């Protein structure tokens, strides 16, 4: 039987299997893992408030920053897989005069102190009525992050907790994953292409794990 397999492999231009080489590839093989990695995004962008850290409306105080459950582990999994991570966040408190750009930067630095470095930050300082191209659900921040990372948008995923995050990702051509919280509306959950109950399961999904 081995001789017949060798003859068929030779005709197909494939390496001939020997007594110690498997004829088939199982789901747990290196080839299977490579296929899973090929489907994974090259970068994952996270919403900040309500996704990476507990939402404190218009937060100007770094001392109030608290990671969301699973945020550290989710980021660890991505970094271990050499997937770059970034943040895309609406900060309309700047436009409303409730915090300054410097205060927003201090809060972002605290996020990095708690969760590690991010390859890219995109912050929209505008209000809902300003008509900017960057504020989610518009795709401006996702597209800008893609340019900074040197990636096509379809090689990026966006993880967030509300419909605006999903809409921004979809409009940019990126993959969207919704991780609902108590503020997420039912219609946002119904409309999302992919919903996962927590950050770790969202990341495992993006990495092709089941």
Of 20, 49, 55, 161, catalytic: 49
CB 63 within 8 A of CB 54: no
Residue 160 lies in a domain: yes
Cα(139)–Cα(24) distance, integer angstroms? 44
Tokens of 25: 């590839």
**Based on the structure, what is the number of domains in the chain?**
1
Residue 169 lies in a domain: yes
- pLDDT at 17 (0 to 100): 30
198 counts as catalytic: no
Of 47, 55, 154, 161, catalytic: 47
- pLDDT tens per residue across span 159-206: 999 999 999 999 999 999 999 999 999 999 999 999 999 999 999 999
- pLDDT at 18 (0 to 100): 31
Residue 23 lies in a domain: no
161 counts as catalytic: no
Q: What angle, rounded to 10 degrees, do the helices at 71-80 and 199-206 form?
A: 20
State the CATH number of the domain containing residue 95: 3.40.50.1000
Residue 163 lies in a domain: yes
- pLDDT at 210 (0 to 100): 63
Q: Percentage of the chain surpassing pLDDT 70?
A: 81
Nearest CA-CA partner of 124 in 153, 75, 165, 65: 165
- pLDDT tens per residue across span 28-71: 223 333 333 457 999 999 999 999 999 999 999 999 999 999 99
Residue 34 lies in a domain: no
Residue 70 lies in a domain: yes
Residue 113 lies in a domain: yes
- pLDDT at 39 (0 to 100): 76
Which of the four pLDDT bands, split at 50, 70 and 90, describes residue 20? Answer: very low
Tokens of 17: 């299997």
- Domain limits at 194? 41-206
- pLDDT at 89 (0 to 100): 98
Residue 36 lies in a domain: no
């Amino acid at each position: 039987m081995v001789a017949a397999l060798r003859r068929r492999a030779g005709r197909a231009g494939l390496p001939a299997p020997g007594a110690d080489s498997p004829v088939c590839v199982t789901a747990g093989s290196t080839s299977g893992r490579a296929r899973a990695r090929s489907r994974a995004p090259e970068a994952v962008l996270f919403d900040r408030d309500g996704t990476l850290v507990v939402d404190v409306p218009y937060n100007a105080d770094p001392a109030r920053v608290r990671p969301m459950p699973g945020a550290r582990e989710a980021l660890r999994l991505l970094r271990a897989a050499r997937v770059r991570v970034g943040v895309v966040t609406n900060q309309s408190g700047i436009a409303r005069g409730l915090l300054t750009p410097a205060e927003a930067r201090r809060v972002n630095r605290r996020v990095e102190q708690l969760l590690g470095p991010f390859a890219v930050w995109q912050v929209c300082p505008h209000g809902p009525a300003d008509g900017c191209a960057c504020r989610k659900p518009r795709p401006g921040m996702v597209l800008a992050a893609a340019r900074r990372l040197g990636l096509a948008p379809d090689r990026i995923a966006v993880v967030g907790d509300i419909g605006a995050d999903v809409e921004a990702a979809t409009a940019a051509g990126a993959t969207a994953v919704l991780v609902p919280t108590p503020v997420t509306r039912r219609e946002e959950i119904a409309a999302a292409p992919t919903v996962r109950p927590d950050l770790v399961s969202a990341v495992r999904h993006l990495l092709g794990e089941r």
